[in-house]
Amino acid sequence: MPHSFRHICWILALLFEAVACSRPESVEQFVFDDGSGQFDFQVDMSDSLGVYDLSFYTRMESRLSPPGFPIRVYLTSPSGERYSESLFYDASAGLVVPYRTGLQPVEYGVWTLSVRARAEGLKGMGLICTTIYPDGTR
pLDDT score at 66: 67
Which range is least confidently modeled, 31-40, 56-65, 94-103, 125-134?
56-65
Yes or no: domain 25-132 corresponds to CATH 2.60.120.380:
yes
Give every CB contact of residue 108 below 8 A, 6+ residues apart in sequence: 45, 46, 47, 48, 78
Alpha carbon 123 to chain centroid, angstroms: 19
pLDDT score at 114: 98
Cis amide leading into 66 (omega within 30): yes
Does the pLDDT of residue 64 top 90, yes or no? no
Q: What are phi and psi of 58, to 5 degrees?
A: -130, 165
Q: pTM of this prediction?
A: 0.77
CA distance 65 to 77: 35
* pLDDT tens figures, 88-109: 998 887 789 999 999 999 999 9
* pLDDT tens figures, 102-134: 999 999 999 999 999 988 888 999 999 999 997
Does the pLDDT of residue 60 top 90, yes or no? no
